[in-house]
Structure 1
Amino acid sequence: MNLTSNSRVIGRLLQELSWVGSTIKEYRDGGRGFENVLTAEVFLALDFLPRQFFLGAVLEASHGATKVRTLLQREIEQAEFTLLPGNFYLTPSGRVNQKELAVQPDGVIKTPSCFGLIEAKRIKPSSFQPEQLSREFVLVMQEALNRNQEPILWLVLGEEPPVSVQRHGRLDPVNAIELYLESVLNRTENHNFEKSVLLQQVHEVVCWTTWQTIKEVVHKQVCDITIPEPSVRGCVQRLANSVVQSITWHS
């Protein structure tokens, strides 16, 4: 860990909030309902909880990308998490965010075999930006290829698909990706991807779960786990309960 950089989740959340501007007043209720606050609260706890028993179970209960998701689950104890990682750029030579094709996932997961992005939406109704899923899909494919790893794009949703996409109503995530994939590829630098080939792979890369499912899985797992040492058991119970309470509070 680089202790000279802002590598802590709370620090990165504060850095992100520092750019909010006048709408920061909306966070006065503890950030209730905001996806960045919810993501930080839930995934920070999941990072610290026994990985296979909790985060592994959450992955197992997710849908889609079965092969890579199973591989990620097997390697979850070795995973490195970066929550709220900031911007990636598909067109680094651009001079402003739009030309640079900025992508801002909510998290990055790295294991020996996998490179994954987490995209979380708030529990209350919200929409993806028109190109958002296309950009994130291209980014995860590009980053995984550069690392010789398996790509996975993990969507954490307020409700089951179809998802709401601005100007396009409700779409299956795969269809939302296809909608702007060619446009994003045409503006992305340093790749040899072909749209037709990527579309054949999208079902193997994109998976999803809901906040409600995470809540149910964590609640079940903390009830089922056996930990003889009272102090350790209490620690695990407090962390797991914080996940359940956060999801309930933000709902």
Structure 2
Amino acid sequence: MQTFPDEITIPGTGVGVQPDAAIWMNDAAVLIEAKGTRKAAQFQKTQLAREYLALMTGPREHKLLLVIMSSPPPVRIQSSGRIDLFEGVTIGLEELCSAAARPDADVERLVQSIPETVCWITWPEIRSAVAEAAATYPCSDASLAGTLRRLAEGVTDAIDWHSGTETVC
């Protein structure tokens, strides 16, 4: 896994994309776009389309664009307001494909693949899953259990701090 990976260039366009994180495996790729925990966070107009196209033009067979947000869709897109996440991915996709000289049929295939390729989760859902897993993980090794508990607390504390919901001891 890479956080802040090197820029990915969309073939044929010269357009660069830099996701927040990437997971590369032999036959799979996951690009992660993590928006801040504040409600005002918004995507640049063609940001999701650029990340999606960069992912889809890559060599791996299995592909996923994971979007992490403060709240469930709709999402805020610059110059478009609040819209459905999948619609947000399509904004600018046709223009990017045209710049890359991709045929119209390819654009249609890409649009149809959005629901099976793009997914989302919220920071509160991640926090809840991490806290629950830490509380219920069976571990008889006290040292390992302590390490796992501290790691989980680090994740939940970071989410709380960034979202402004941290508690004062």
In the superposition, the TM-score normalised over structure 1's length comes to 0.61
Among 61, 80, 86, the alignment partner of 2:6 is: 86
Q: What is the RMSD computed on CA atoms of the aligned residues?
A: 1.6
- Secondary structure in 2 aligned to 1:223? helix
Opposite residue 175 of structure 1, the aligned amino acid is: E
- Aligned equivalents of 2:17, 2:99: Cα separation in 1: 13
Moved more, 209-218 or 107-116: 107-116
User: Deviation digits for residues 146-185 of structure 1, max 9, x if unmatched?
Assistant: 23x2111000011110000001001111111222111011
Judging by fraction of residues, say which structure has more strand. Answer: 2
Judging by fraction of residues, say which structure has more helix. Answer: 1
Contact 1:155–1:206 (CA<8 Å) still a contact in 2?
Answer: yes
Opposite residue 150 of structure 1, the aligned amino acid is: H
Contact 1:130–1:166 (CA<8 Å) still a contact in 2?
Answer: yes
Question: Which of 1 and 2 has higher RCO (CA within 8 Å, sep 6+)?
Answer: 1
Does 1:134 pair with 2:49? Answer: yes
Does 1:120 pair with 2:34? Answer: yes
In the superposition, the TM-score normalised over structure 2's length comes to 0.89
- The aligned length equals 161
How far apart are residue 91 of structure 1 and its match?
A: 4.9
Among 18, 21, 24, the alignment partner of 1:110 is: 24
Extract unaligned runs of 5+ from structure 1. Answer: 1-80, 93-98
Contact 2:27–2:62 (CA<8 Å) still a contact in 1?
Answer: yes
- Secondary structure in 1 aligned to 2:91? helix
Among 119, 133, 143, the alignment partner of 1:231 is: 143
Give 1:46's aligned residue.
none
Aligned counterparts, 1:1-251, within 5 A: 81-91=1-11, 100-124=14-38, 125-143=40-58, 146-147=59-60, 149-188=61-100, 194-251=106-163
Give 2:166's aligned residue.
none
Extract unaligned runs of 5+ from structure 2. Answer: 164-169
Identity of aligned residues (%): 30
- Aligned equivalents of 1:160, 1:117: Cα separation in 2: 19
Opposite residue 8 of structure 2, the aligned amino acid is: F
